[in-house]
Structure 1
């Protein structure tokens, strides 16, 4: 069960003009709870004086701890300023060393279990954060593994974790390949200026590596980039099961207002070993219904992007407004995003523990 704990801030590093890296100290008693797989994320919570709270999800960019050792002593996340963003503005302008942040235990399935082989990633902007953890963990644990990183940024100055990627390349010069495309700046060497879209990636990827031999593709960043990269890979014959995606920003319009729920509809939810049944109000998502009665229900973005509110549909039928977090295999297995789900049948049962 995901839980929040206060973690002290050990370092605040400015990594670009509009981004910082926050290093959090994990006390010995909590290290097992914060043990994470490479690629997982943390939800950070800030409570206002009026009782309202803001939650945002940020990927862990530090390597995952060894399975046989102790849990992590520190966790590092990257935060990029979003125009009008409540939490990102707070992170860049107010958070200081010594502050305590409320941090949820790690979640997410955009992960890699390190194994020998060739792996690759296409990332844009802050999409580098989980992939940095994935690549660093893989190369450290598996001497027979190789990794190809294709990243897209606006300019060199706006590129997050530029030094960290360069250091990783220095440590593994024969096993890490890094290719950078800048959309607003000419490079003396490397790719011509421009965005990485489907057509460009279709031509570029086979020229960089044997696409058919890549054991896993990791696509992370804005929706348009991830969608274009997926279509390019599918067009190149890559099976869907080898493609893993995480969306950081969605440019599509918000979903239309949901249709009214069936009269007298209810949701039964199991959470942290305890269950309950409650009426669903008109227009409510199932997550909103559960939160009215169980404030400890897990969630972060409420936008169908992070996957924190993932639950198993035990009974009934639901309609999801949007889904940018669950793989097709997960939805086929019966999982839904509670924040996007509305009842179609009068009774719905969810299991957050499965």
Structure 2
């Protein structure tokens, strides 16, 4: 990853192209100048945080890279997909204002929803907590809407670099007109007809051929997946899109006996409401915050300790004193604010980003964490 051994940073990149994909989505191509190319080397599946300031307020949003990762050289350009969100502060700006030759503030790549098909690991799933893949090198993804974006990079890079790997893509969209990256996915099918399998389900439009319309719920997936591919031999499952679809697919795979370490999830849309997450809710009521707490944070080799104000998350406390602390979504979805909990205890309101192996190892999402002990120590550098 670009930021291993160092924290992700923002740089200004020129917009090289703005391509309209659908009525409510665009693709932005960002040119990477030679001095910054190594910093923007990425693993397929990673995302970029884009930043702008409006009336003195900073806005950050994360968008997944859809480009195929170069095998040897660092990338000279990066492409991301942006879906328009109702009243979206950044997506509206991207659709109505961003033009070629504009400059955007772009963080170096981050994220762990990845598959690295290096020559020495062709057919090997290298995502966190994974095991060596079976000899078949078979991979699969279940995606909804803009969840296609990181999977397009994963599938394209894998098929290009690992000549014996296979990839099955099950995608769900409302209609053909709303489907992002139609041409790019069709190109994969043309280039790798024997190794790339595509199944499209439209929830609000009948198709002349293929599956009947309707939602991809758990009942339907339980019947569909075993009919499409050898579920037990798939080396890595990549689930990406709205929370409901990802959870339905995850429960289906669990029912079908797929091991947890082979399932990787990234949530793109989470409805506001109960503090649900991918982990089981605690059996007892959460521990209340102590009246006075202090957080000590290690960041970029420098350490500081600050009092936590009432109701603040640990990230908010750190940002008041270290504005360079890493974050993007503040919603418990992207994982950019991840830190290692050195000491003390915290309560995480939501977690849609960290795998169980990461939380068990001691990592927390600082944007969702509140202290439950008087002293908490974090390490952003680990």
Q: TM-score normalized by structure 1?
A: 0.97
Q: Aligned match of 1:126 in 146, 167, 172?
A: 146
CA contact (8 A) 1:9 1:96 kept: yes
Pick one of 63, 67, 87 that aligns with 2:68: 63
Offset, 1:85: 0.6
Q: 2:303 aligns with which of 261, 266, 275?
A: 275
Is residue 287–residue 372 contact of structure 2 (8 Å, CA) maintained in 1? no
Q: Map of 1:1-354 to 2, 5 A cutoff?
A: 1-48=7-54, 50-66=55-71, 69-114=72-117, 115-116=122-123, 117-253=137-273, 255=275, 261-354=289-382
Give deviations 1:148-197, integer Å, cap 9, x for gaps: 00000000010000000000111101000000000000001111000101
Q: CA deviation at 1:264?
A: 2.4
Helix, strand or coil: the match of 1:33? helix
Residues in 1 aligned to 2:210 and 2:301: alpha-carbon distance in whole angstroms: 54
Classify the secondary structure of the residue corresponding to 2:317.
helix
Counterpart secondary structure, 2:52: strand
State the secondary structure of the residue aligned to 2:215. coil
Q: CA deviation at 1:263?
A: 2.5
Provide the rounded CA distance (Å) in 2 between the counterparts of 1:254 and 1:198: 21
Contact 2:288 / 2:372 at 8 angstroms: preserved in 1? no
Instruction: Report the secondary structure of 2:378's partner residue.
Output: strand
Matched-pair contact (CA < 8 Å) for 2:169–2:199: yes
Secondary structure of the 2:201 match is: strand
Name the SS of the counterpart of 1:54 in structure 2: strand
Task: State the Cα distance separating 1:260 from its structure 2 match.
Answer: 6.0
The structural deviation recorded for 1:252 is 4.7
CA contact (8 A) 1:260 1:282 kept: no
The CA deviation at 1:52 is 0.8
How many angstroms does 1:51 deviate by? Answer: 1.7
Q: How many angstroms apart in 1 are the aligned matches of 2:239 and 2:84?
A: 21
Distance in 1, Cα, partners of 2:10 & 2:205: 41
Gaps of 5+ in 2: 1-6, 124-136, 277-285
1:262 CA displacement: 1.3
Task: Report Cα offsets for 1:275-316 as digits up to 9, x if no partner.
Answer: 110000000000000000000000011000010000000000
Report SS of the residue matched to 1:212. helix
Q: What secondary structure does 2:147 align onto?
A: helix
Matches of 1:71 and 1:275, distance apart in 2: 32
> C-alpha displacement at 1:113, in angstroms?
1.8
Q: Secondary structure at the match of 2:60?
A: strand
1:20/1:80 contact within 8 Å kept: yes
Partner Cα distance (1:136, 1:215) in 2: 17
1:225-270 CA-partner distances (Å, limit 9, x unpaired): 00000000000000111000000001251549x9863122100001
**Stretches (4+) displaced over 6 A:** none
C-alpha displacement of 1:220: 0.0
- Deviation of residue 70 (structure 1)? 2.4
- Per the TM alignment, residue 273 of structure 1 is displaced from its structure 2 partner at its CA by 1.0
SS at match of 1:157: helix
